[in-house]
Amino acid sequence: MSDRPARRPLYAKILRLRHINPSPVACFAFFEGSLAVAILLALTETVSWWVVLILPVTVALMVKLNDVVAGAGKRSRS
């Protein structure tokens, strides 16, 4: 084993997640999955093309909110 710390996924670094540590697969599902769903919905004309931009941003905001709530829960237990 190496003493190098595990590399965090870019998604987690960009969102500056402190209390949750999503795996690379989870980060892939959060970003690329939401992007793929938004594109599929736009291609079927179920939603506007703006959703292709809005849905991944909304998922990122929800992940960040989950991180903030997890941090508040840790602080209240201490």
Cα separation, 1 vs 46, whole angstroms: 50
Q: Look up the pTM and report it.
A: 0.84
Task: Give the model's confidence band at 78: pLDDT under 50 very low, under 70 low, under 90 confident, else very high.
Answer: low
Rounded to an integer, the average pLDDT of 51-76 is: 93
Task: Say what the pLDDT of residue 4 is.
Answer: 57
Tens digit of each residue's pLDDT (9 = 90 or more) over 4-61 = 567 889 999 999 999 999 999 999 999 999 999 999 999 999 999 999 999 999 999 9
Cα separation, 50 vs 7, whole angstroms: 33
